[in-house]
C-alpha cells in the first residue's frame, strides 16, 4: 500500500515479469502479436529509428511529455504494436491487469512535399539497400528531417487516443508507443513509407529514371541494330543492341578519347537501367510486360528488350507468355528434395499438409507423397491427421528388472556376484536366480565360477 496518497513502489523486475506473463497469455489467443523488445541501452540504433525519436523530441509540444514513455518501452510494456497505412494500434501494460489499447493516426505525406523530396533526392541515392540502411549524404538527411516539409510528421499531423483514465493529452502509454515505433523502424525501415502512405519504389525508380535521362543526354548517341522478327521477334519479342564494329578505320587520338568517355557513360547508364528493370521483374509474381516497364523506368523499348534478352539468356528471368517476363524460380536439385520435405515436416510443431509443402517447395505433389510414404515406413515421421504429417514422437519404454541386471553385468569386467546384484537392484534371491537363468539360456551371460556371472563371449 502507498503512503500519503501515492501509488506503491513496484520494482523493475516485477514490472517486466508482469509484462512477460501477460504477453504469454495474449500469444495463446493471437500468435501474430508483435511486442516491442529493446535490446541494449539505446532505444533506437539505426538512422531511421534515431531520426524518428529525434523528430518527436525536438517539438515543444512533445519534448516535456514524451519522456514519460521511456521506462515503459524499456520494461517491455508495449505488448503489441501493429503499423498500418496512416495508423498505429498498440497494447501497453499499465498498473492494471488488463493492458491499455492505444490508437495513433498519422496523416499521409503531402503530395507537394513528396514531389519536392523526390526532386531533391535525384543523384543522391544509389540503391534501395542504401536508402533502407540510412547510408546517404548529410544533405539528404536534412531534406528528410526538415520541419514541416520533410518526411517525418509534425504534432499537427499526429492524433492519438488511449483507453487509460489519465487526463493528460499524451499519457505514458501513448509515449511508450511512439518510442516503440522508433524501435520497430530499426527492424524494418520500409514500414515508415507504409505509415506515411507513400511507395518506397516510387522514390528509387524516380531517382534512377532522372539519373538515367541525365547521363543519356551527356553520352554520345550510338547506332543500334534490330534483329529480324523471324529470328528473335517471334520467339522472344526482343531487340538486341549492336556489337561494336572493330573493322572500322582508326580515328584520331582526340576522337578516341571522346568516344571512350562516351562508352563509359553509356555503360554506367545501362548498368543502372539493367538493375532497375531486373529488380522490377523479380518482384513481380505474375510477370510484367514492356508497356508497364517503359512507364516505370522511362527507358525506350529497344533498351528494355535488350536487358530482358541478356537476363533471359543467363537464366535470371523466365517467360510467362508472349512479351511477359518475371524472375525465374530456383528449382531444387532432385537429390535435395527428400531432405527439404523432411525438414519442413520436422520444423512444424502441429504437423504440415502435402499442399502446404507443395506451395512452399514447388515440388510435385506425387513426389512429396512418395517421400513421405518412405519416411513413414522408416519411422522418421507419422501421420497426425488426414494428409497431415509430423515428427514421430519416441516413447520411452520402462526399464525392466532383466535390463537392470544385464546392464550391471555388462559394466563389470571380472564378473558380478549374486550378493552384489541384490545390493544394486534391491531384488530378492529368487528373482535374481530366475533372471540369471533366463539370461544364461539366451546366451547373453555365462557363469565364470559358482555364483559369479559375466557377459557371454561369442
Query: Does residue 6 sit within a domain?
Result: no
Domain that holds residue 261: 203-244+254-327
Same domain, 71 and 109: yes
Query: Does residue 396 sit within a domain?
Result: no
The pLDDT score that the predictor gives to residue 233 is: 42
Same domain, 227 and 322: yes
Same domain, 39 and 181: yes
The pLDDT score that the predictor gives to residue 221 is: 47
Same domain, 169 and 96: yes
Same domain, 162 and 284: no
The pLDDT score that the predictor gives to residue 235 is: 40
The sign of the torsion formed by the CA atoms of 92, 97, 98, 100 equals negative
Domain count for the chain, please give it: 4
**Alpha-carbon dihedral 305, 307, 313, 317, rounded to 10 degrees:** -90
Q: Which long-range contacts (CB under 8 A, 24 or more apart) does 321-324 make?
A: 321/287, 322/237, 323/237, 323/289, 323/290, 324/287, 324/288, 324/289
Look at residue 19 and give its three-state secondary structure.
helix
What are 416's three cell numbers? 558380478
The pLDDT score that the predictor gives to residue 1 is: 44
Q: How far apart are CA 446 and CA 452, in angstroms?
A: 9
Q: How far apart are CA 155 and CA 148, in angstroms?
A: 10
Same domain, 159 and 269: no
The CATH number given to whatever domain includes residue 345 is: 1.10.10.10
| Residue with the three cell numbers 517471334 | 234
Same domain, 437 and 345: no
Same domain, 295 and 224: yes
Same domain, 100 and 216: no
Taking the model in full, what pTM does it have? 0.46
Q: How far apart are CA 220 and CA 236, in angstroms?
A: 29
**Alpha-carbon dihedral 289, 294, 295, 297, rounded to 10 degrees:** 120
Q: How far apart are CA 71 and CA 451, in angstroms?
A: 74
The sign of the torsion formed by the CA atoms of 57, 61, 64, 67 equals negative
Q: CA angle at residue 98 from 93 to 103, to 5 degrees?
A: 60
Q: How far apart are CA 208 and CA 200, in angstroms?
A: 13
The model's pLDDT over 315-371, given as tens digits with 9 standing for 90+, comes to 778 888 888 888 776 655 677 788 888 888 888 878 888 888 888 887 888 888 898
What are 426's three cell numbers? 534391491
What are 408's three cell numbers? 550391471
What are 447's three cell numbers? 557363469
Q: Which residues of 191-200 are buried (b: 16+ CB within 10 A; e: fewer)?
A: bbbebbebeb
Same domain, 28 and 164: yes
Same domain, 344 and 408: no
The pLDDT score that the predictor gives to residue 264 is: 55
Q: How far apart are CA 217 and CA 456, in angstroms?
A: 93
- Those residues of the chain that have pLDDT short of 70 are 1-10, 60-61, 123-130, 136, 202-274, 329-333, 393-399, 458
Same domain, 78 and 183: yes
The model's pLDDT over 114-169, given as tens digits with 9 standing for 90+, comes to 888 877 777 666 666 667 777 767 777 787 887 777 778 888 888 988 988 877 77
Amino acid at each position: 500500500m502507498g503512503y500519503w496518497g501515492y501509488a506503491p513502489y513496484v520494482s523493475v523486475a516485477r514490472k517486466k515479469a508482469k509484462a512477460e506473463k501477460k504477453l504469454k497469455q495474449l500469444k495463446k489467443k493471437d500468435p501474430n502479436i508483435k511486442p516491442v523488445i529493446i535490446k541494449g541501452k539505446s532505444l533506437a540504433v539505426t538512422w531511421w529509428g534515431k531520426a524518428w525519436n529525434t523528430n518527436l523530441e525536438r517539438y515543444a509540444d512533445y519534448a516535456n511529455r514524451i519522456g514519460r514513455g521511456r521506462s515503459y518501452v524499456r520494461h517491455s510494456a508495449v505488448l503489441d504494436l501493429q503499423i498500418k497505412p496512416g495508423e498505429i494500434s498498440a497494447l501497453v501494460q499499465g498498473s492494471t491487469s488488463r493492458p491499455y489499447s492505444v490508437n495513433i493516426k498519422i496523416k499521409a505525406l503531402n503530395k507537394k512535399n513528396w514531389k519536392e523530396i523526390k526532386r531533391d533526392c535525384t543523384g543522391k541515392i544509389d540503391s534501395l539497400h542504401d536508402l533502407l540502411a540510412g547510408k546517404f549524404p548529410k544533405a539528404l538527411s536534412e531534406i528528410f528531417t526538415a520541419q514541416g516539409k520533410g518526411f517525418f510528421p509534425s504534432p499537427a499531423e499526429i492524433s492519438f487516443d488511449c483507453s487509460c483514465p489519465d487526463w493528460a493529452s499524451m499519457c505514458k502509454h501513448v509515449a511508450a508507443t511512439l518510442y516503440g515505433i522508433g524501435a520497430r523502424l530499426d527492424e524494418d525501415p520500409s514500414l515508415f513509407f507504409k505509415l506515411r502512405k507513400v511507395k518506397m519504389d516510387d522514390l528509387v525508380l524516380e531517382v534512377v529514371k532522372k539519373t538515367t535521362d541525365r547521363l543519356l543526354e551527356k553520352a554520345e548517341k550510338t547506332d543500334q541494330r534490330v534483329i529480324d522478327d523471324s529470328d528473335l521477334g517471334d520467339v522472344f519479342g526482343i531487340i538486341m543492341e549492336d556489337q561494336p564494329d572493330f573493322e572500322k578505320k582508326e580515328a584520331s587520338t582526340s576522337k578516341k578519347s571522346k568516344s571512350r568517355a562516351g562508352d563509359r557513360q553509356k555503360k554506367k547508364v545501362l548498368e543502372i537501367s539493367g538493375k532497375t528493370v531486373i529488380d522490377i521483374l523479380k518482384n513481380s509474381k505474375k510477370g510484367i510486360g514492356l508497356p508497364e516497364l517503359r512507364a516505370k523506368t522511362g527507358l525506350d523499348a529497344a533498351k528494355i528488350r535488350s536487358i530482358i534478352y541478356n537476363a533471359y539468356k543467363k537464366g535470371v528471368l523466365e517467360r510467362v507468355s508472349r512479351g511477359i517476363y518475371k524472375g525465374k524460380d530456383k528449382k531444387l536439385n532432385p537429390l535435395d528434395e527428400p531432405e527439404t520435405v523432411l525438414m519442413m515436416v520436422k520444423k512444424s510443431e502441429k504437423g504440415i499438409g502435402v499442399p502446404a509443402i507443395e506451395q512452399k517447395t514447388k515440388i510435385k505433389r506425387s513426389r512429396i507423397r512418395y517421400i513421405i510414404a518412405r519416411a513413414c515406413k522408416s519411422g522418421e515421421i507419422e501421420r497426425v491427421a488426414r494428409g497431415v504429417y509430423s515428427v514421430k514422437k519416441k516413447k520411452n519404454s520402462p526399464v525392466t528388472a532383466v535390463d537392470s541386471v544385464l546392464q550391471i553385468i555388462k559394466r563389470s569386467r571380472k564378473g558380478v556376484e549374486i550378493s552384489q546384484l541384490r545390493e544394486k537392484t534391491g531384488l530378492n534371491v529368487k528373482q535374481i536366480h530366475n533372471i540369471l537363468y533366463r539370461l544364461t539360456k539366451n546366451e547373453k551371460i555365462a557363469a565364470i565360477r559358482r555364483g559369479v556371472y559375466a557377459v557371454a563371449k561369442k
